[in-house]
Amino acid sequence: MEQQPIVELKQLSKTIGKKKIIDNLNIKLYPGQITGFLGPNGSGKTTTIRMMVGLMEPSNGEVIIEGQVLHDNFEEAMSKVGVIVENPEMYKYMSGWKNLLHFARMDKSISKQRITEVVEQVGMQNRIHEKVSSYSLGMRQRLGLAQALLHRPKFLILDEPTNGLDPAGIREFRTYLRKIAVEDGVSVFVSSHMLSEIELMCDRIAVIQNGQLIDIREMNQKEQAHYYIEAHPVEQTQELLIAHGLELEVSGTGFIAKIEQEQIPSIVKALIDANLQVFAVQPFRKTLEDQFLEMTGGGQIAESHKK
């Protein structure tokens, strides 16, 4: 039986003036899965997220959250959603606990026991009664995560959640996010331009360009093996590898070839038999950044995260 998606974007489109910002977007998001949302500058990521949380009306198509069409049943659909944006706003003169208590008063179903649960879930038991002004950015992000989880959402949207965090803070945040997705069956949707973090954090990625979904892939999807091969003279090496039917990419003074492991001995033997000087034959894994640039034709990722 096919798993039911928690969220579905169906033929989602947005036109402003004569410009089509989002063009027929179709995505399904599943429980317990973390999906990264990537795209170059101006690709439509922010517009998509605004439509997903009802801040912008689609020109066409639907956002469906746990069976509820957002446009028709806004309150019911949004009751299933938690949102964290970059650097969440808090009352800094109050403690973390009082911030959560204040937020919980907006929803009568949230008990003090539930507040305690989410505090433990994000590992803030020791600091929750201290003022937010004393928190590091990483602690404030965790408090924001706790706040977003209070009403037990089934869908969590994060927009640049690790921006400004140090490596330890990023790793902590990633750990808590994975725990929440797995233990509570939450579908997590992460928009970010920090590709190295998306690679570590997500189960799959969706890539958008010019308002269109150009790729959606599982992060653990097994691809054909790549190897880096370097031998001199370079021209003769290239000719020999092409003669063996290999697809090549130039990389420095060597080549990256799609090749299965069992082919390696015969390739190495051919290089040696041709009296070529072999310097390297080693596995090569394309990073998410390499893949992203291939998919988008070298399109720029969103603004630099260096501050």
For 24, the enclosing helix (H) or strand (E) is: strand 19-29
By DSSP bridging, strand 68-69 and strand 7-16 are unpaired
For β-strands 60-65 and 68-69, DSSP reports them as antiparallel
Query: Under a CB-based contact definition with an 8 Å cutoff, are residues 282 and 185 in contact?
Result: no
With a cut of 70, say whether residue 221 has pLDDT above it.
no
Q: What is the pLDDT of residue 304?
A: 35
Which range, of 18-22, 143-147, 192-196, averages the lowest pLDDT? 192-196
- Mean pLDDT, residues 134-139 taken together: 86
Q: Residue 129 above 90 pLDDT?
A: yes
- Give the model's pLDDT for residue 302: 43
Are 166 and 197 in contact, with CB atoms under 8 Å apart?
A: no
> In 3D, which of 167, 164, 130, 162 has the Cα closest to residue 145?
162
**Would you say the CATH fold of 226-285 matches that of 7-218?**
no
Q: How far apart are the first and last CA of the chain?
A: 47
Collapsing DSSP to helix, strand or coil, 286 comes out as coil
pLDDT of residue 171: 83
Q: Tell me the pLDDT tens digit for each residue of 95-125.
A: 999 999 988 888 878 888 999 988 988 888 8
Cis status, amide bond into 5, omega within 30 of 0: no
Q: Cα Rg for the chain, rounded, in angstroms?
A: 24
Architecture per CATH, domain 7-218, reads as 3-Layer(aba) Sandwich (3.40)
Helix (H, G, I), strand (E, B) or coil at 268: helix
Give the integer Cα–Cα distance in Å for 87 and 129.
Answer: 20
Q: Which two tokens stand for residue 189?
A: 């949707």
Question: What residues does each domain of the chain span?
Answer: 7-218, 226-285
Is the confidence at residue 130, as pLDDT, over 90?
Answer: yes
Prediction pTM value: 0.71
The pLDDT of 131-150, averaged and rounded, is 88
276 CB-contact burial (10 Å; exposed 0-12 / middle 13-18 / buried 19+): middle
Q: Are 21 and 11 in contact (CB under 8 A)?
A: no
CATH level 2 (architecture), domain 226-285:
2-Layer Sandwich (3.30)
3-state secondary structure of 264: helix
Instruction: Provide the 8-state DSSP code for 123.
Output: T
Q: Could you please report the per-residue DSSP string of 166-188?
A: -HHHHHHHHHHHHHHHHHH--EE
Query: Is residue 142 within 8 Å of 135, Cβ to Cβ?
Result: no
User: What tokens does 10 get?
Assistant: 């169906």
The identity of residue 199, as a single letter, is E
Question: In this structure, are residues 5 and 67 in contact, taking their beta carbons and an 8 Å threshold?
Answer: no
Bin 164: left if φ > 0, else alpha if -120 < ψ < 50, else beta. left
pLDDT-derived band of residue 62, with 50, 70 and 90 as boundaries?
A: very high
Mean pLDDT check: name the lowest of 19-33, 174-188, 285-299.
285-299
